[in-house]
Amino acid sequence: MSKTILVTGGAGFIGSHICEMYLKEGYETICIDNLVFGKRENINNLEENSHFKFYEVDIRNYDELERIFKKHHPEIINHHAAQKSVANSVENPMYDLENNLCGLINILNLVKKYPIKNFIYVSSGGALSKEIIGEEKSTEIYTPQLVSPYAITKFAGEKYLSIYSKEYSFNYTGLRYANVFGPRQIPDGECGVIPIFINNVLDDRASILMTYADMPRGCTRDYVYISDRN
């Protein structure tokens, strides 16, 4: 009997690829997304698969979430749903808090009633790095800078998982992605520079790079392709 996985934010750029991967590996895949950032067309082809089920649900809605937990009893949760913009978190910190932390706690409270085995939490790579000086590198042992509401809620989410995993006896993994790129990506923000560059090339437009006086070489960022596993 195949395991059941719940993917939050499963209609988004990354989440839809995650759902595809799980289906290929034989999992019963339950996808929830409020379609604020996600797109229905990202998962249209998946709905033909009998092992896939989509619910248009907001993770802030505890009652709707419970109906899904009660019906499907997922063994694994892959939590991608989030407010993803650092800039937006500064402009609207309450919305960031409600989505990135209150939504997570809704799910964790349901885990108490409907036990799981594993929880995969998508945190942040860049937002949770330490202050970089020169050629330094940031590793997981360093305390993040926490210079935005987004960084604070993502880091707090890691800490909540640490507590809840011990309390309710499940394993968890926190993923601090680098900037991910690939098919179905929205061309906006620093993560979306690859499709922005490609669109500029196709439209015969120049791509403009910004630098600062103290950063004559510009910013350095890590990018990972959506289907890479290593």
Query: CA geometry: angle at 79 spanning 128 and 171, to 5°?
Result: 85
**Closest C-alpha to 111, from 161, 154, 157, 53:** 161
CA nearest to 142, candidates 154, 155, 130, 151: 130
Which helix or strand (DSSP H or E) is residue 79 part of? strand 76-79
For residue 167, the SS3 value is helix
Q: At 147, list the tokens.
A: 């210079």
150 as an active site residue: the answer is yes
- Count CA within 13 A, CB hemisphere, residue 189: 11
Catalytic residue among 22, 27, 150, 164: 150
Residues marked as catalytic:
150
